[in-house]
Each structure stands twice: as structure tokens, then as C-alpha cells.
Amino acid sequence: MSSTAAASAPGGGISSDFLPVLAEVSQQLAVSVDLEQTLRESVAFITEHMRAEAAAVFMLSADGSTLQCRACVGPVDIHGLEIPAGAGIVGRTVARRACQLVRDARNDPDFSARVDASTGFVTRSVLCTPLTTAQGVIGAIEIINKRDGGLFDDADRNTLRLLAAPTALALNIARMAGELVEKNRIQRELSMARRLQRSLLPRRRRGAYPVRALNLPAQEISGDFYDFFDLPDGRIAFTLGDVAGKGLDAAFLMVRCASLLRWAGKEGLPPGNWLARANDELREAIPPGMFVCAVAGYYDPARREATWASAGFPPLLRIATDGAVQRLPAEGPPLGILAGMHFPEQRCDLVDAALYLFSDGVTDVRDSSGHTLDIDGVEALLTEHAELPLEARLRHLFRELRTLRVTDDITVLGIEGRPAGEQCVFAHDFPAQPGELATMRHGLGEALSAAGVGTELRQALVLAIDEAASNVIRHAYGGPCERPIRLEVWQDGPALRFDLIDRAPSADPDRLRPRDLDECRPGGLGVNIIDATMDAWQLLPEPGGGNRLRMHKQLRPVVI
């Protein structure tokens, strides 16, 4: 047998017919797609070639604490067996980074008789060589017992060392491939986390809604969050937060903090209590060294006033239409550091002014020479385009920021108050067709919500206007037609005025008399609904023909 001859060649020389064996093993390992299977085949090949009874490949764990059997051949299956890194002959091989030839295992101090004892296998001689890569030793390959009962010799040692090289290479490649797969998996999970995070952000509101926000994460996932939502009393709750740190930890804390603030905000608590509650909740379980800077508050469109509390957040900017700027720094500490903290309430009016909240990623943006933008730069960019609508102004700011070096998540939230005096907050023209009413109702509802009208009153006002418009279609125009109807809604602080204008012949004011509600009959309810909902209404002749139904409603300003 040529291989036996090779193994027993004198002086540890390796015969020429070993080369095809080495080529075969190297080739198999090089093209391997399934490493476990290839390793098994290579180990079997080596066992066969070296006329051994058993063989195994052990790999060092990532932290170097254990060695695990990744492939084995022989009467005892030890695949998956884990041993402490320094233990046994394998451990010694790895520790000494040198081939170990043990002629009488039972008398070797490092030999572990555990496997033998439990299986009845008898280990006589062992040959074990380290698997070495550029990163150092990654494992070892071990062969046990010559089949002919002889001992391993120097030729066997050299043969095994040669076979170890391609095995080490293959294992290393497999490890890198594994890391790549892991990285891809993490990438997939990150994009899922990102989708989850995005789904937590409030939807963009159309029309004249006074709150707008933009967020640009520096990485896949963000440590920043913002939120705004309507309260039943007509106020708009808003939050903006910035979790210290980046990456998964920060992202998870962000998700937790965002839902916590939303949960506490739904109750309409005063801003100071709102943050205090979130702080106490966060404090109970927050990773060490992490904290959250945040602002939580309310905007009341009817009073054009914002109230908030700030937990270590960068100064808020109040910029008036005339260019006057006010900086409103935080008066409370960041969240999650110490329980029982106090967060003073702050407030300002937003008549003819806008309030901006931005995470420190915005002020930390750097120019080409490494200088940060700072609050002055942000202020300049926001005043630069005061004439733009709020959202366009924020987009302009973001465009400018992205021409610089953004290193952190950037998030901006703006709240714009209406100017003093009466403003038209909704105008809608539609033909006198019942099918047009739904669109009118939806637009009106949005506008009333932006005007600070609470849920219940909003529904009642929409119903009243719908009834008035239905009456115009049914009575003033005598049925559906293409004649025009115009609805205008005007607001001056808490005072709302609705004008519903038609081009029908002058109406008989009698048709607008409420019916007796105690009389139960179908029809004629519309005017009652208008009457019950509005504070006052009157029917005015429109110059040039037509009618103007003018309705008034005073919003009860909520006391914050």
C-alpha cells in the first residue's frame, strides 16, 4: 500500500504520491459550499490516507474559551463535543501552537479518558496539529490510533501538518462567510427595526395643520423621535426626543421612550407632570449610562399658545414674523438619570410667530473646516426663508444641512401660530350636488382640527354645516344642480365664523325656522341641529343675488 509506505518513509520524508492527496483535499476545501460536509469528507479522506482509526477537527470559539468538534470520523461520534480551551491534548496543541505526537496516550498527563470511559473506545496514540491562520490558531486537527496497531511517526506528523494548512484556510473562509451571513441578517433586522420606527412617527397632516416635523437618521435606525397628536379638547400634543448614543440600544430605547411619552401625553397632563411621569417610568429600566433629552408640550391653536417642559433638550427657538428671535433653554434635566425630578413648565404665545424644536444633531452639523453650525447657524437658516410655508421652510433647512457633514440623527419640529386678527382657515367651492358633501365635510374637519377645535365639537360643527349645505341643495336650489355653493371658515383666536354662500333667489327666512323637537317626524331636523350647535346665526342677502348664511361659534379656550 503506497500510503502506508508514505507514512513509514524513513526520516519523516513524504513520498511523491502524497501530492495528489494534498491536491484533492485542498481542492475539496477550496470549492466547499457546505463546510460541515466538506470537513467531514476531508477528515474521512485524511483518516483513510493515514490509516487511522479516528480523526476530528476542533475549532476555537469566538471568545477563545472552548474548543468544539466540527467534524469527526471513527467509531465514536464526538461531533459538537465542547471542551475547555486548555484541556486535553487538543488544548495543549492549540496552546503551544505546535504539533503534538503522543505515542502512549494513557500515560500522557493531558489525556482525558472521559470519552474512552463512556464509549469503550481505547485511545492508544494521538497525533494533533494546530490549524493556523493569519489571525493565529483557530483550532486543531487530531487523528487517533494507527489501524495496524503501530505508532504515528515523523512522516505522519509532516503529512498531517501539510493537510492542516488547506483545512485552516477553509475554516477561516467559512468563518468569514458566516460573519457575512450574520452581517446580512443584522442588516435585514435593522431595516425591519427602521420600518418599525418609521411606523411610530405620526402621519403628515394636510391643509393648515400648524405642526410639521422632519427626521433624517444618520444610520439605518434613529435615536431621535418626534410625535404629535390631537387631544379631544382641541389642543395638539407634541414631543421630540433624542436618545443619547446610536445603534440598536439607542433605537430600542427610542421606541420605548416614544411610546411612553405618547401614552402619558394622551391624558393631557400638564407638561411638567408629563415628563416627570415618563422620567420615573424610564428610570426603572434604562441601560446604564443612557439617557434621553426630550421636550413634551401642547399647542392650543385657539389661544395660539404653546406650553411645554424640556428635559435637557437644546434651546427652543421662537422666531416671529418680524424676525425677532427668542431662545428658550431647557429648565429640566434629561430623562432617565434620576427619579423624582422636576420639570418646570415653560410657555410662549405664537401669535405671528413659529416655535422650532431641533435635536442636537442639527446644531452639530459641520462645515468643511469642521466647524459646527451651532444655534446661530440654525437661526440664520430658519429666518432666511421666513416667507415659505412652515414645511417648505423646514425642508429648506434640511437641504442646507445635507450640504454639510451630518454626523448624528437630525430632527426638527416646527409649530406655527396664525397671525393676529381674523384669518380665513378654510374656503371650499362646490356644486350643489349631494355627492360633493363628503369631500366638503372631510376638508372642513381637517381645518377645524388645525384650528384647535376638540373632537366632539368638531363633529357637531361638521354636521351643522353639512345640514346647512343640504338645505341649500334641497330648498334654496330646489334640488341637486350645478349651481355654486361656497363655504368660508374664519377664525380670530377662539372666535369661529362660518359663511355658507349660495346664488339662489332670496330665501324665505321661514324655511329656516327650527321645528318642534318633541314632535317626532322625519325631516326638518337640519335647522335644529344648526340651532343647537351654533351660538348665533343669521341669513343675509348676498349683493348681486343669493344668500349668505352666517354662523358663529365661540371656542371655549381650554385652561392649560
Partner 1 sequence: MKTCNTDVDGEYRVVRLAGEVDMSWSQQVRAAVLDALKRSDKVAVHLAAVSYIDSSGIAALVEGFQQARGRGQVFVLLEASDAVKAVLRLARLDRVFTLREQLA
Site residues (CB under 8 A) for partner 1? 433-435, 437-438, 441, 456, 459-460, 462-463, 466-467, 470, 473-474, 517-518, 520-526, 528-529, 532-533
Task: Report which of 127, 81, 136 is spatially closest to residue 108, judged by C-alpha positions.
Answer: 127
User: Distance between terminal CA atoms of the chain?
Assistant: 97
Q: And the C-alpha cell for 350?
A: 405664537
**Residue 253 vs 473, nearer CB to partner 1:** 473
Separation of alpha carbons 305 and 180, rounded Å: 53
> For residues 303 and 349, what is the distance between their CA atoms, to the nearest angstrom?
8
Q: Measured from the CB atom, is 87 or 460 closer to partner 1?
A: 460
- Provide, rounded to whole angstroms, the least separation between the CB of residue 469 and partner 1: 9
What string of DSSP letters covers 76-100?
Answer: S--TT-EEETT-HHHHHHHHHTS-E
The residues with which 318 forms a beta bridge, in sequence order, are 326, 355
For residue 386 the three cell numbers come to 421666513
CA distance 319 to 376: 13
DSSP 405: B
**Closer by beta carbon to partner 1, 203 or else 521:** 521
Nearer to partner 1, 243 or 462 (CB): 462
Shortest separation between residue 180's beta carbon and partner 1, angstroms: 49
CB of 525 to partner 1, least distance (A): 4
Q: Which is nearer to partner 1, 316 or 512 (CB)?
A: 512
Which residues are within 8 A (CB) of 471 and not within 5 positions of it... i.e. 6 or more apart?
Answer: 511, 512, 526, 527
Give residue 314's Cα distance to chain centre: 22
Q: Closer to partner 1 at the Cβ: 49 or 458? A: 458
CB of 480 to partner 1, least distance (A): 9
Dihedral angle of Cα 269, 274, 276, 278, to the nearest 10 degrees? 130
Q: Residues near 365 by Cβ (< 8 Å), separated by ≥ 6?
A: 372, 373, 377, 401, 404, 405, 406, 407, 410
Least separation in angstroms between CB 439 and partner 1: 11
Q: Which residue type is seen at 69?
A: C
Shortest distance, position 308 Cβ to partner 1, whole Å:
31
Whether the CB-CB separation of 415 and 238 falls below 8 Å is answered with yes
Closer residue to partner 1, CB minimum distance, 112 or 433: 433
Residue 456 C-beta: closest distance to partner 1, Å = 7
CB 549 to partner 1: min, Å: 16
- Please identify, using beta-carbon distances, which residue of 181 and 438 lies nearer to partner 1: 438
